[in-house]
């Protein structure tokens, strides 16, 4: 892209009186940093910050290869206050910016490590395993949604998971206490896919108020709420469902027939809306 066209794009994002050189003027005051923060900057300088090399007017490089744009100028303004501790590294960063993807946290809230469980269902998730390795940094936003068993109206609850939809329940089951009476139904294509069976059984070892039903559709028909609960009325039950859209709608229909109020059926989306 010609420099004049890049400049024209950039100027669309700034008021006429705003000079691109304004951020380069020496600041009137420095940031206040603690001794620990100053030591961190000194020991790790220069701290490299990646910016896109072809994303005008946010970040791009000019004909001389110098990073410019709104983001680059913002970093320069900060850098003046940090005595040049930052270094801008332009690049494509295609993998980092390729896709924002929602994943459910499967570790307990009090756990020192944050765990997400991912199944290779598309192009992005399929290449994660080969692309990730120890030391790779990531950016996490959230949390999103209100999928939490504590938000249920009733303490008697049905948790229904389909395949990788078991993820949120791995966290739930470690936190649920004796005041709840929970049945977790996990439907999988084959028992070999129930890779968290041992973890679940260990979690409920001392929780007689929680029971787990693992149902494989390879050797059995699809799980039927009607057949399992027969003449039982579930009107005093709150249900939580996580799984593929088709499975979710199927279970919602079954639950409504068992007198579960639509307001007491909660589900988690597999994607951002």
User: Mean pLDDT across the chain, nearest whole number?
Assistant: 78
> What distance in Å separates the CA atoms of residue 147 and residue 168, rounded to the nearest whole number?
8
Angle at 217 between CA 148 and CA 125, to 5 degrees: 55
Peptide bond into 46 cis (omega under 30): yes
Q: For residues 123 and 169, which has the higher predicted lDDT (pLDDT)?
A: 169
Domain with CATH 3.40.190.10 in the chain: 3-95
Q: What is the mean pLDDT of residues 200-216?
A: 92
Q: Is pLDDT above 60 for 140?
A: yes
Q: What is the mean pLDDT of residues 217-222?
A: 85
Q: Tell me, what's the pLDDT at 97?
A: 46
Name the CATH superfamily housing domain 3-95: Periplasmic binding protein-like II (3.40.190.10)
Q: What is the pLDDT of residues 58-90, one digit of tens each?
A: 788 888 888 888 888 888 888 888 888 888 888
Q: What is the pLDDT of residues 226-251, one digit of tens each?
A: 888 877 789 999 999 998 888 899 99
Q: What is the pLDDT of residues 252-270, one digit of tens each?
A: 999 999 999 999 999 886 5
Handedness of CA 223, 226, 231, 235 (dihedral sign): positive
> What distance in Å separates the CA atoms of residue 142 and residue 42, rounded to the nearest whole number?
31
Contact 252, 161 (CB under 8 A): no
> 149-268 sits in which CATH class?
alpha beta
Q: Is pLDDT above 50 for 135?
A: yes
Q: Tell me, what's the pLDDT at 222?
A: 86
Q: Tell me, what's the pLDDT at 174?
A: 87
> What distance in Å separates the CA atoms of residue 143 and residue 145, rounded to the nearest whole number?
7
Residues written for the chain: 273
Helices (H), the chain: 3-11, 35-44, 70-80, 94-97, 123-131, 167-175, 197-203, 225-229, 245-257
Tell me what percent of the residues of the chain surpass a pLDDT of 90: 23
Give the count of beta carbons closer than 10 Å to the beta carbon of residue 137.
6
Domain with CATH 3.40.50.80 in the chain: 149-268
Nearest to 116 by CA among 161, 167, 190: 167
State the pTM of this model. Answer: 0.57
Q: What is the pLDDT of residues 159-197, one digit of tens each?
A: 999 988 888 898 899 889 999 999 999 999 888 888 888
């Amino acid at each position: 892209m010609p420099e004049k066209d890049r400049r024209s794009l950039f100027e669309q994002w700034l008021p006429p009186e705003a000079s691109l050189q304004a951020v380069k003027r020496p600041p009137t005051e420095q940031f206040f940093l603690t001794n620990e923060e100053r030591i961190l900057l000194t020991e790790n300088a220069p701290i490299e910050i990646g910016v896109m090399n072809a994303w005008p007017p946010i970040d791009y490089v000019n004909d001389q290869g110098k990073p410019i744009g709104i983001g680059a100028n913002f970093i320069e303004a900060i850098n003046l206050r940090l005595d040049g501790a930052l270094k801008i590294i332009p690049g494509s960063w295609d993998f980092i910016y390729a896709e924002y993807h929602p994943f459910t946290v499967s570790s307990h809230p009090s756990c020192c490590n944050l765990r997400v469980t991912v199944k290779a269902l598309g192009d992005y998730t399929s290449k994660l395993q080969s692309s990730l390795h120890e030391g790779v940094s990531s950016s996490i936003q959230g949390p999103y949604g209100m999928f939490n068993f504590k938000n249920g109206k009733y303490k008697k609850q049905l948790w229904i998971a389909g395949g990788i939809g078991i993820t949120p329940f791995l966290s739930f089951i470690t936190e649920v206490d004796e005041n709840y009476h929970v049945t977790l139904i996990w439907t999988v294509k084959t028992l070999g896919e129930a890779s968290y069976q041992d973890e679940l059984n260990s979690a409920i070892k001392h929780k007689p108020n929680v029971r787990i039903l693992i149902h494989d559709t390879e050797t059995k028909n699809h799980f039927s709420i009607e057949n399992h609960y027969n003449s039982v009325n579930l009107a005093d039950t709150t249900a939580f469902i996580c799984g593929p859209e088709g499975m979710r709608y199927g279970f919602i229909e079954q639950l409504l027939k068992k007198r579960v109020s639509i307001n007491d059926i909660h589900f988690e989306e597999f994607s951002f809306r």
